[in-house]
Structure 1
């Protein structure tokens, strides 16, 4: 008799343990809902074609998700939701094997087979949707250009000036952006933090912000999590948080210290007794390195080099018109208060006096390629520099659209200089390799050395310029890591109407080497020193000249 009673008890304990294992936290349920909602948005034929107001459908399902306590109940919520969307007909086009070379480092739908969260019935339904996914023009995403195949997010309700206390719209902010990156950001696989982890990490910050500013900072942190120098967030509220008042200097972060490298206004810098080479170690009694650590999650950049470059806005700015600094000058440490100003008070204009080209000592040609705006100037410059023993192309300032024409002078044959990956809208999350693209000419006109100067200020078009010129016969690239944000930019609006952007095309060297996050290839690396900055040296240019004269 005891043995008979023992079995039901063991069965009950076993059953309870199963359910205990499958109980889901609020974060798990919402993260799963975000994935299901995004998957159906871009894959389900009746959703992707715009038949449903997909934001409202999310708001309808959220209360049902909240009441589900385990994976069985949650799966049933999703199953009922999918059934309500209508029958999915078999997709004949989806079965056809495409003669396409896919890049699949971003593609991962393995989550639909997660047995800890989904029942077998739900996983099978999701797999069926994948295999019979929507084809053709979509409602929520399209190609901005059929030729370039850059994604363009369309027909999204912006909810401008929405009440930040609206929990549904806060979750929509996170869900929408997370899925846009999940399926249409070519460098998603390169993020420091796995994109699934980002979703779970950011969920509490969107669920429980204490103030409106908390919500905007959470949005900024989410965007920065892309690790993309292009991924900016145009929002005055976050600008105000970091402060509208500037010191009248610009600086470079070296060895976790702020070294003054120039002035926004010479008179105001002199008035505050600030000098080139001053090393600022503290701001309002806080170490510069501590400030950088605290603000890092808000500074967009593909790599640490660009993050330091972008840090100037976040490090010494503030909400007050004065700041106490600790600084080192001539080996002596001092402390004093400095006035800060609104940027408009500087009446600042970027330096534009530098020559487009000139001949340096020892018959070395130099051209500031960013100053060359017109194609017709290229022959004139190359004619003037044709008898030099080397030409230095400085790619560290401004932007130019003339690299192809300079490349024609330094190559003996056309060469591949990049290839790209573009999103396949008929299979979201998968990317297609483009053909390689060539630059250069079949007739070498300049036979001397060619040197390219690059650093962290080189981003996007400037990095593309460097890649194009690197096809030359006798080219050496000198400098420090570039921004690592190549390719065309996709600009779109967040919930609330605030603009943001990402790199929309993945750019690679012909051999498959990534440029996103890594930057362009560098032959001679130069790491600027505090001593060199204090002395006012252009250490990258000096190293290039040394290489030429060797």
Structure 2
């Protein structure tokens, strides 16, 4: 009877959704509400640019959207008109079409299409790699992306970077070539209809005894084992978050051992029988093997153990409601994980869910789990009381941040802003940019040059104390909450946060040359200070330092520049590639072959497994380049340091196979591999390096990084003198 009552409602929903048209999404920009500067359902992304409705220029109808650059453009700023659509459609490909007109554009323009899941961005394209600039009349453009099955939101827009003006009009969104008005809708998974604990887990717990902590730890491991092994959970028939809340009161508290075993048996049996697969054998050459020995020691009882053994050998599909492997890449896709964004401070049950969710993601799908270098099971036991006993939002988020830091991965950090943590660490920032040199924090630049003088600080100042506390003590306090694969990158990540405060002034003791002095340093709200202002800070991607020495900065490089750059580099005897940045374009199969006389292997990967969660196996080695008698025959110097991260490290691995190359600098960020986003209750967003990246001979890159042939680091004296000592050493090598 209940199903019969729900059916008409479902049909009404489907008919209503399918009746949505482009007019309802205002894709033609014609609907403008009184008092609004942008068309209805549209918003401005980016800062500093004029983004408004324009009735003077339009492709059709009466209106378009205008993006206009300011007279002075600050680093890292852009203009974007954006809108968000629900990802309720069935299909495999999504396309955004739109008409654009632009005038005197010096940077680039593009359509923006971004697909988000609950955990973060899944697909993204903004046409910036095409470098479309200049002046052009109305023309239709298009971008296409895969449309993931776990998409939650569709973001569309028009983007302007640099000087000039851009008009956009008449957008269309198509799913598999079908306009949204006629695109079929997805059938929602059964898990989404379970709403029992939407208002809270209803689980409370008092002071935990050691036995209770062990019980909760074992339950968290069991819950995660079933999540990634049981076909019924993989099908999306169960809200597995809420299943935890159903079993929790049955196995915790004063429940006797026999009662716990019976409750667990009934809970697992209730998921239904499983179809046998095979007794999966693990290749001895596997990079990482699953460890399920804990099951025998958990006290579940022989009946439950027999059930789990059957489930371990069950037949599993290549896809699952909660986990998948990204096509062509293989990094884990933690899909359909609810962020519970409305719960800034989740209750005890949801806090345990947060811990269990993260712990099991690492246990089964982190390719570098072996590099955590401590007992991951003991970490779970350690953090159970930390999560349960968190007294407020700040304590909960600090516990989550410390847990994330324990995986020792530079990609594993908090991605989103947290008001609670901002209040804890300081809402205001000084204008000075710090870096570590000779083990000490040193002023190396300013986020805003107009505020440099009034900061009272100078480039080269060494920070000794902050608010009467020695820097060494501050570093020790902050390290548990500072993520990174190795100590240099942890210090790099810590540096921007040393001069933070909730007060408008910070008392800083500095060493300047031979003097020590106290300075009252102003601290500004985040709206005033852009701590990312110096990211990839260079005025060009290429120049000739000397007539016979070329300099390349990948942070500003685009593949479209190759026809102009390569002939100039070919004339030189030396090439400096400054990889103290993040590449603006993917260079591995475009620029790298220019450096190689033939195809050369530079990397191999490890991928996880859907059939055997926890198993990671090696892929064949990957090569770049081809037979090329015209390869670059000059000497190459590659500069790296702790800012060389992820794609920059991957690119450096490729360049390192060149015949005559010297790598100088310091150890890199040591976090290679595509990022897999993760979301935890309370909308805590983080991620991990999702695939293992190794040299062809099996050497690690994670936590090791790209090791230079010659270690060269900035000195305090060099910073004070305004010298780039690494670049000087590169030129010396090329003499």
1:225-374, aligned counterparts within 5 Å?
225-233=406-414, 234-237=416-419, 238-346=421-529, 349-350=533-534, 352-361=537-546, 363-373=548-558
Higher strand share: 2
Question: What is the TM-score when the length of structure 2 is the normalising length?
Answer: 0.67
Q: Write the distance in 1 (CA, Å) between the matches of 2:434 and 2:292.
A: 45
Q: CA deviation at 1:419?
A: 0.9
Equivalent in the alignment of 1:160: 341
Q: Identify which of 233, 253, 257 aligns with 1:47.
A: 233
Equivalent in the alignment of 2:623: 438
Bigger RCO (CA 8 Å, 6+ sep): 1
Q: SS in structure 1 opposite 2:676?
A: strand
Q: CA deviation at 1:174?
A: 0.8
Task: Report if the CA contact (8 A) 1:72-1:118 is conserved.
Answer: no
Paired residues, number: 521
Q: Identify which of 207, 219, 224 aligns with 2:400.
A: 219
Equivalent in the alignment of 2:384: 203
Q: Identify which of 651, 675, 678 aligns with 1:465.
A: 651
Is 1:391 aligned to 2:540, yes or no? no
Q: Deviations over 1:252-305 (max 9, x none)?
A: 123442111011223322123211111111000111121111111111211111
Q: Write the distance in 1 (CA, Å) between the matches of 2:478 and 2:259.
A: 41
What runs of 5+ residues in structure 1 fail to find an aligned partner? 1-22
Equivalent in the alignment of 1:378: 562
Q: Write the distance in 1 (CA, Å) between the matches of 2:354 and 2:529.
A: 37
Q: Write the distance in 2 (CA, Å) between the matches of 1:384 and 1:158.
A: 51
Q: Write the distance in 1 (CA, Å) between the matches of 2:455 and 2:233.
A: 61
Q: SS in structure 2 opposite 1:328?
A: strand
Equivalent in the alignment of 2:101: none
Task: Call closer, same or farther: CA 1:239–1:107 in 2, change over 3 Å.
Answer: farther
Q: CA deviation at 1:429?
A: 0.9
Equivalent in the alignment of 2:146: none
Higher helix share: 1
Q: Which stretch of the first structure deviates more once superposed, 323-332 or 155-164?
A: 155-164
Is 1:412 aligned to 2:594, yes or no? no
Equivalent in the alignment of 1:488: 674
Q: CA deviation at 1:396?
A: 1.1
Q: CA deviation at 1:317?
A: 0.8
Q: SS in structure 2 opposite 1:385?
A: helix
Q: CA deviation at 1:510?
A: 0.8
Q: Write the distance in 2 (CA, Å) between the matches of 1:496 and 1:347.
A: 26
Is 1:449 aligned to 2:635, yes or no? yes
Equivalent in the alignment of 1:30: 216
Q: CA deviation at 1:547?
A: 2.4
Q: SS in structure 1 opposite 2:591?
A: helix
Q: CA deviation at 1:70?
A: 6.9
Q: CA deviation at 1:179?
A: 0.9
Q: Write the distance in 1 (CA, Å) between the matches of 2:530 and 2:399.
A: 33
Q: CA deviation at 1:244?
A: 2.1
Equivalent in the alignment of 2:332: 151
Equivalent in the alignment of 2:689: 503
Q: CA deviation at 1:190?
A: 0.8
Q: Write the distance in 1 (CA, Å) between the matches of 2:582 and 2:481.
A: 25
Question: What is the TM-score when the length of structure 1 is the normalising length?
Answer: 0.89
Q: Deviations over 1:44-78 (max 9, x none)?
A: 22223233222222112111221356766544443
Q: CA deviation at 1:540?
A: 1.8
Task: Report if the CA contact (8 A) 2:582-2:645 is conserved.
Answer: no
Q: Identify which of 423, 429, 443 aligns with 2:614.
A: 429
Q: CA deviation at 1:163?
A: 6.4
Q: Write the distance in 2 (CA, Å) between the matches of 1:71 and 1:529.
A: 63
Considering only aligned residues, what root-mean-square deviation do their CA atoms show, in Å?
A: 2.4
Equivalent in the alignment of 1:125: 307
Task: Call closer, same or farther: CA 1:70–1:545 in 2, change over 3 Å.
Answer: farther
Q: CA deviation at 1:343?
A: 3.7
Task: Call closer, same or farther: CA 1:70–1:290 in 2, change over 3 Å.
Answer: farther
Task: Report if the CA contact (8 A) 1:101-1:432 is conserved.
Answer: no
Q: Which stretch of the first structure deviates more once superposed, 453-462 or 232-241?
A: 232-241
Equivalent in the alignment of 2:66: none
Equivalent in the alignment of 1:6: none
